[in-house]
């Protein structure tokens, strides 16, 4: 049973446009959410996080939105750049414990 789902395995966006990556979760015990970016043959790199007490967190070109009632979060990248092309994972942490539960990833391709 997948507790964190990224339903779009891939997304293609034109350079300069907005990229929106989505993530859904089922476990009500999750209260901290993170986005990681991963290039081939490398480890995940932390991008941005959000606590369940917030509904938005922004860091430069990256903004994460959290809708707790819908158990949905999204990552917005504006403007998208070719260097953003990578696999993006959302992850969730429960209010008791430190383990991260990851989604299956979305491959973002930003075309020049």
Partner 1 sequence: NAGVMQNPRHLVRRRGQEARLRCSPMKGHSHVYWYRQLPEEGLKFMVYLQKENIIDESGMPKERFSAEFPKEGPSILRIQQVVRGDSAAYFCASSPFGGRRETQYFGPGTRLLVL
Tokens 């964190």, located at residue: 4
**Contact in structure between 108 and 21 (CB atoms under 8 Å):** yes
Stretch that binds partner 1, among 11-19, 58-66, 74-82, 91-99 (CB under 8 A): 91-99
Nearest to 63 by CA among 53, 77, 73: 77
Q: Which residue has the tokens 């430190």?
A: 98
Spell out, one character per residue from 44 to 63, where the chain touches partner 1: x when CB under 8 A holds, - when not: xxx--x-x------------
26: helix, strand or coil: coil
Stretch that binds partner 1, among 13-21, 40-48, 56-64, 70-78 (CB under 8 A): 40-48
Residue 42 interacts with partner 1 (CB under 8 A): yes or no: yes
Dihedral sign from CA coordinates of 16, 91, 39, 10: negative
Is residue 95 part of the contact set for partner 1 (CB under 8 A)?
yes
Kindly list the residues in this chain that would bind partner 1 in the complex (CB under 8 A): 4, 6, 31-32, 34, 36, 41-46, 49, 51, 89, 91, 93, 95, 97-105
């Amino acid at each position: 049973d997948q507790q964190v789902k990224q339903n779009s395995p891939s997304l293609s966006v034109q350079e300069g446009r907005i990229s929106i990556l989505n993530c859904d979760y089922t476990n009500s015990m999750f209260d901290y959410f993170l986005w990681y970016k991963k290039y081939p043959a490398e480890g995940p790199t932390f991008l941005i996080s959000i606590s369940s007490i917030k509904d938005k967190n922004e860091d430069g070109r990256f903004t994460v939105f959290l809708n707790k009632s819908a158990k949905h979060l999204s990552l917005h990248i504006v403007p998208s750049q070719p260097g953003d092309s990578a696999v993006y994972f959302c992850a969730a942490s429960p209010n008791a414990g430190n383990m991260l539960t990851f989604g299956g990833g979305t491959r973002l391709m930003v075309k020049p």
